[in-house]
Amino acid sequence: MTDERSSNAGNGGRETNHTDDETPPARGNESSPDSTADGESDRLSIDRFHDACQQAGRPVLTADGVARALDRPQEDVSGELEELADRGAVQRLSVSNDPVVWYPSELEDLTEKERVVVFPKRREIVLDRPTQFTRAQLSQFAHLADGNGEKGYRYVVRPEDVWQAPHEDFDDLERTMRQALGQRSERLEEWVRSQWDRARQFRLYTHEDGYTVLEAQTPEVMGNVARQKLDEEHVHAPISDTEDWVREGAEAAIKRILYEAGYPVQDHRDLDSGEALDVDLEVSLRDYQQTWVDRFAEAGEGVFVGPPGSGKTVAAMGAMAEVGGETLVLVPSRDLARQWAETIEEYTSLGPHQIGQYHGGQKNVRPVTIATYQIAGMDRHRSLFDDREWGLVVFDECQHVPSDVYRRSTHLQSQHRLGLSASPIREDDRQTEIFTLVGPPIGTDWQALFEAGFVAEPELEIRYVPWGDDEQRNAYSSADGRERYRIAAENRGKIDEVRFLLREHHDAKALVFVDYLDQGRELADALDVPFLSGETPHHERRRLLEEFRRDERDLLIVSRVGDEGIDLPTADLAIVASGLGGSRRQGTQRAGRTMRPAGGALVYVLATRGTREEEFARRQLQHLGRKGMTVREQTVEREQTSDDSSETV
């Protein structure tokens, strides 16, 4: 792919800058129109004005400031500024603290330009007003760390981003980098090349006699890395200076250990693909979904990362069709297993006789089987899955995979592995294990999907609510630890606030989330609506969700079971009444219940004013703010009346 902005002729009207001691491109001024034939070098020119701004460290200066910076009389400078203004080179602006300040006219144009600033030492790229093309190119080798459209975008180039870059050789990656940045950054490119080389130092392959071999590029890297990190649990013995005979079943551990040492292992084993399975996708993939599938097909493994509502499940079915082999899908709960089965039947050419579910409710192993992680990890069931040769294993909600219970399911062998996650982060910082156990991240930044209209960006607002009564306030003051948090979470003042928000949005379909069963029951009684929790029988849970999905019901109270264990229908309004001590992933899941192509969705997070819930709310939603969502904060002042409540903010 080529792009006219990346040609040597220029940057297509955008600004690019290097920092971290890199030499910036020189500004040409050999033939400045402000120079004079008789050599009046002291006379003010636009270039000398720039010099004064740089010396003062400000883009806007008074005449006195210019005179001081250039060590010239203010009277002379004032007249010459007027001349520059007449020619349009600078602009004047009256302000309250000084009669007039001056700034270059070109600053007015910069507000509409794409600007790129590269920090090679920190491996960061900051953009203002980037085009979709630039962001698409950046997503191939960098991670979006902060994505608020109003404040700009900050990308970080991490080792794993380079390791999984979808390019055949480094020249292609280098070309993509220069297209994205509009410039060369030798220091950054040198580091990226080193990571590119690291990702190609080790590979696993199948020996002609059927066993697995770990091969290194050189004897030095084999001796100084692999043979220092691995022991007899992982390898039998050396075969040569660059090859070791791998113990059966140790492949996943080897990949994890070397990945953590900074050397991802390429897996070139001849894994069994199982029986062929013709799968036709009966829905068209969006462009970004097709890109995900193409990158997965090239790598043979990966994790689809995207916001709720971006269609990761449908993209996974595209991967199934690409693989064309028998597939095992692992999910956290039987409700999700049922929903997966229904979705596969709806969106693919597969019939009910080809789709099986294996969990506490039913146990059928078929060409496409959906099982729960818990069942797949149990010894008495695991042989059923081990004995079948899977072409593809899909790990839904794969952020759970590093946990001890779910990890056992990753020992299942298959030709291809695919993970799905809206937010592959963990509070125990074990998220790198997700990518070693399943595959590298593949995704599109959230803000790009918001702007393209594929996924609606919900409006997020934290509302700091007063105490509902003095009894709870006093109990909070005398409590400590976890009990203190629970009292704040169950603040009865939140019942009035939920009522208020539901009245304000009386036409909305709403979900109210709680962490505590007692609070959920109290809210359900106060609002006269059902409370959906882990105690709700499966048939009752399914009926309530179907009624909500068909618009026969417009309000549900939902416990933690709604975070990941079931596929909740989308809503116009989500109110988080408690749960602020939960994970960043939980905040993502709950906000995601309002994400859909139609706009106007709202998420309100309630925190008891003056308690640690305030801190929890900010921390939980900060992660979403970095992904491009706008987060507002409001303090509620409520006056109680005998039969209702009124509120000011």
Least confident of 405-414, 452-461, 583-592, 627-636: 583-592
Residue 36 has pLDDT above 50, yes or no: no
114 backbone dihedrals φ, ψ, rounded to 5°: -75, 130
Query: What pLDDT is attached to residue 644?
Result: 43
Whether 9 maps to a domain, the answer reads: no
pLDDT of residue 40: 47
Cα–Cα distance for residue pair 537/515, rounded to 1 Å: 19
- 11 pLDDT more than 80: no
Rounded CA-CA distance 347/91 in Å is 60
Q: Map tokens 């897996």 to a residue.
A: 267
Q: What is the dihedral of CA 196, 201, 204, 209, to 10 degrees?
A: 140
Q: Is residue 20 part of a domain?
A: no
Whether residue 313 sits in one domain with residue 176: no
Nearest to 583 by CA among 611, 563, 610: 563
**Nearest partner of 495 among 465, 473, 538, judged by Cα:** 465
311: left (phi over 0), alpha (psi -120 to 50) or beta: left
What pLDDT, on a 0 to 100 scale, did the predictor assign at position 628? 58
Residue-level pLDDT at 533: 86
Is residue 327 classed as helix, strand or coil in its secondary structure? strand
| For residue 180, pLDDT beyond 60 | yes
**Would the pLDDT of 14 be above 60?**
no
d(Cα 397, Cα 45) in Å, to the nearest integer?
Answer: 61
67 and 158, same domain (yes or no): no
Q: What is the per-residue pLDDT for 431?
A: 53
pLDDT in tens, 58-98: 677 888 888 888 888 888 888 899 888 888 888 887 654 45
pLDDT score, position 233: 93
Q: Do both 521 and 428 map to the same domain?
A: no
Q: Does 581 score more than 70 pLDDT?
A: no
HSE-CB at 74 with a 13 A cutoff on CA atoms is: 6
Q: Which of 91, 110, 129 is the last residue of a domain?
A: 110
The answer to whether residue 52 sits within a structural domain is: yes
Instruction: Identify the pLDDT of residue 4.
Output: 38
pLDDT at 280: 93
The domain boundary, picked from 178, 198, 218, lies at 198
Range of the domain at 304: 287-447
Task: For residue 36, give the CATH number of its domain.
Answer: 1.10.10.10
Query: Quick one: pLDDT band at residue 520, thresholds 50, 70, 90?
Result: very high
Residues 629 and 480 in one domain: yes
Q: What is the pLDDT of residue 373?
A: 85
- For residue 12, being part of any structural domain is answered with no
457: which 2 tokens? 């960006």
Whether residue 17 lies inside any domain: the answer is no
- How far from 205 is each of 299, 357, 392, CA to CA, in Å? 15, 33, 19
Query: Per the domain annotation, does 97 fall within a domain?
Result: yes
- 413 and 504 share one domain: no
- At residue 502, the pLDDT reads 94
Distance (Å, rounded) from C-alpha 602 to C-alpha 604? 7
Residue 581 per-residue DSSP state: T
Residues 442 and 367 in one domain: yes
130 sits in which H/E element = none
Contacts of residue 192, defined as CB under 8 A and 6 or more positions apart, other chains included, come to 141, 157, 162, 173, 174, 177
Residue 577 sits in the same domain as residue 635 = yes
Of the candidate ranges 129-143, 153-167, 188-202, 278-292, the one whose mean pLDDT is the lowest: 129-143
pLDDT at res. 28? 38
Are 241 and 297 members of one domain?
no
pLDDT category at 645 given cuts 50, 70, 90 is very low
Kindly state whether residues 252 and 300 are assigned to the same domain.
Answer: no
Q: Which has the higher per-residue pLDDT, 29 or 531?
A: 531
Q: How far apart are CA 167 and CA 106, in angstroms?
A: 38
The tokens describing 345, both together, are 């039947």
Total domain count for the chain?
Answer: 5
Q: Which DSSP state fits 225?
A: I
Higher pLDDT, 305 or 240: 240
Is residue 54 in some structural domain? yes
Of 110, 138, 165, the residue at which a domain comes to its end is 110
What is the token pair recorded at 272?
Answer: 């069994």
Both 490 and 624 in one domain: the answer is yes
- Percent of the residues in the chain that have a pLDDT greater than 90, as a whole number: 29
**CATH classification of the domain holding 559:** 3.40.50.300
Look at residue 637 and tell me if it is in a domain.
yes
- E-strand spans in 466-611? 510-513, 531-532, 555-558, 573-576, 602-608
Q: Is the pTM of this model over 0.95?
A: no
What pLDDT, on the 0 to 100 scale, is given for residue 335?
82
pLDDT in tens, 362-393: 888 899 999 988 887 676 776 677 667 788 99
190 and 207 belong to one structural domain: no
Residue 281 DSSP label = B
Predicted local confidence at residue 55, as pLDDT: 75
Q: How high does pLDDT run on average in the chain?
A: 79
106 and 122 housed in the same domain:
no
